[in-house]
């Protein structure tokens, strides 16, 4: 009898399927698809007795619950079946919001005038019938004089370019794209979900820390050139480059890395947001900590939440005791490793001082 805390259920068009041979569900920031899952069964597993019922096809709507918690809402993307004289094997893969990556922006004019970023994003998501949800704060409220879509540009790329220029001050995650268990398109502007701890010798089964020298960038400057018109042109629409604070690790400063602007800088917040966002991502990837825990539920209750604070306590780690941001959580289950979650944690301020703490 499977314990309720270790039960994974894939529901396809109202029919529940469980007793899978292996299960993997992944939640992540800044990746497409943000939420995905994979299920397998083969000859000898309980589900193999009902192969006829497993006629699951790409495009079928589905949900996934883990330990009774909704973990995924999306569609089946891939069905693979292998059969020979000795065995049968079925693999089902699912993802959400993939239409954003393959659908072009639909607009009569292809441009938006004097609109706030949130208004623009909601407008391009509407034809896809995808809801926008903002967590961790709010998007900037300034209006952009004009923002245009390149013909044939995907909805995802359109939104990605725009949000790269929206800085949120003192945010440990910058502007991050993701999803949620209900299948909404989510933009994070700050940390979410409180804080939990991984402690060596207690709830952390495995730990790994990766620190590398990316040969990246101290100042991260960006040139600034706004669009000209008959009244304003030349030096009147240019300004000094904006530069982020130097990226310093172990006392060594890297040479600057220029950020090339993707859109005209109508507003100084667009320039500063793009530079600060790029600088933050460079610092974030300098240190990555992977922690493996048993089960799918965090100590404070519920599934581990992308974008939340996690503190790892392990004397062997440089990031010992420093709060990190959960970039991805992979919930898995199989016959050899059991039920576990692999947490990918990233730092927000490299190794410098001033790393923000929860509730600061």
Task: Flag whether 360 is in a domain.
Answer: no
Find the angle CA(218)-CA(221)-CA(224) to the nearest 5 degrees: 175
CA–CA separation, 44 and 295 (whole Å): 25
- 135 lies in the same domain as 28: no
* Contact call for residues 103 and 82 (beta carbons, < 8 A): no
Given 75, 96, 117, which residue is the final one in a domain? 96
Task: Flag whether 351 is in a domain.
Answer: no
pLDDT at 266 over 50: yes
50 or 359, which is more confident:
50
Task: Flag whether 265 is in a domain.
Answer: no
* Contact call for residues 74 and 94 (beta carbons, < 8 A): yes
Q: Could you read off the pLDDT of 5-16 as tens digits, one per residue? A: 999 999 998 889
* Contact call for residues 236 and 229 (beta carbons, < 8 A): no
Task: Flag whether 135 is in a domain.
Answer: yes
- 203 lies in the same domain as 315: yes
Task: Flag whether 105 is in a domain.
Answer: yes
Q: What is the mean pLDDT of residues 63-92?
A: 90
- 72 lies in the same domain as 110: no
Q: CB neighbours of 78 closer than 8 A, spacing ≥ 6?
A: 58, 91, 92, 93
CATH, residue 310: 2.30.300.10
- 165 lies in the same domain as 87: no
59 or 213, which is more confident:
59
- 150 lies in the same domain as 8: no
- 311 lies in the same domain as 206: yes
- 9 lies in the same domain as 90: yes
Name the pairing type of β-strands 309-313 and 195-199: parallel
125 or 283, which is more confident:
125
pLDDT at 216 over 90: no
**Residue 163 confidence class, pLDDT cut points 50, 70, 90:** confident
pLDDT at 130 over 90: yes
DSSP state letters, 264-317? ---SHHHHHHHHHHHHHHHHHTTEEEEEEEESSB-TTSSB--TT-EEEEE-TT-
Q: What is the mean pLDDT of residues 60-75?
A: 97
Check residue 181 and report its DSSP letter: T
- 107 lies in the same domain as 142: yes
Model pTM above 0.75: yes
- 76 lies in the same domain as 9: yes
Q: What is the mean pLDDT of residues 134-153?
A: 88
- 206 lies in the same domain as 326: yes
Q: Which of 174, 172, 247 is nearest to 214 (CA)?
A: 247
Averaged pLDDT score across all residues of the chain: 81
- 85 lies in the same domain as 151: no
The pLDDT value recorded for residue 322 is 86
The domain of 300 spans 195-212+286-346
pLDDT at 357 over 50: no
Considering its fold, how many domains does the chain have in total?
Answer: 4
- 88 lies in the same domain as 155: no
């Amino acid at each position: 009898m499977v314990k309720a805390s270790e039960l994974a259920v894939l529901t396809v068009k109202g029919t529940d399927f469980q007793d899978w041979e292996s299960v993997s569900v992944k939640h992540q920031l800044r990746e497409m698809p943000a939420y995905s899952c994979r299920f397998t069964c083969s000859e000898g597993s309980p589900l193999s007795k009902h192969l006829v019922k497993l006629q699951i096809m790409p495009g079928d709507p589905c949900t996934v619950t883990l330990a009774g918690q909704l973990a995924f809402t999306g569609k089946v993307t891939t069905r693979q079946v292998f059969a020979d004289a000795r065995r049968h094997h079925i693999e089902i893969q699912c993802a959400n919001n993939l239409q954003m990556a393959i659908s072009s922006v639909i607009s009569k004019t292809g441009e938006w005038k004097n609109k706030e970023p949130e208004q623009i994003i909601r407008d391009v998501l509407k034809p896809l019938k995808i809801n926008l949800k903002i967590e961790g704060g709010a998007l900037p409220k300034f209006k952009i004089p004009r923002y245009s879509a390149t013909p044939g540009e995907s909805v995802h790329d359109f939104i990605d370019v725009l949000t790269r220029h929206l800085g949120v001050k003192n945010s440990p995650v910058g502007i991050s794209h993701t999803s949620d268990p209900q299948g909404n398109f989510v933009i994070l502007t700050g940390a979410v979900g409180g804080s939990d701890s991984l402690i060596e010798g207690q709830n952390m089964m495995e730990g790994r820390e990766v620190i590398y020298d990316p040969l990246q960038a101290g100042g991260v400057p960006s040139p600034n050139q706004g669009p000209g018109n008959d009244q304003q042109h030349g030096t009147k629409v240019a300004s000094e480059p904006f530069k982020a604070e130097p990226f310093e690790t172990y006392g060594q400063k890297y040479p600057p890395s220029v950020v090339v602007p993707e859109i005209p800088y109508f507003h100084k917040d667009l320039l500063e947001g793009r530079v600060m966002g790029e600088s933050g991502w460079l610092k974030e990837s300098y240190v990555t900590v992977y922690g493996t825990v048993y089960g799918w539920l965090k100590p404070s209750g519920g599934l581990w939440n992308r974008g939340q604070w996690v503190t790892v306590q392990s004397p062997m780690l440089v990031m010992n005791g420093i709060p990190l941001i959960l970039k991805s959580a992979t919930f898995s289950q199989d016959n050899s490793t059991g039920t576990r979650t692999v947490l990918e944690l990233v730092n927000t301020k490299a190794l410098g001082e001033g790393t923000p703490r929860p509730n600061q």
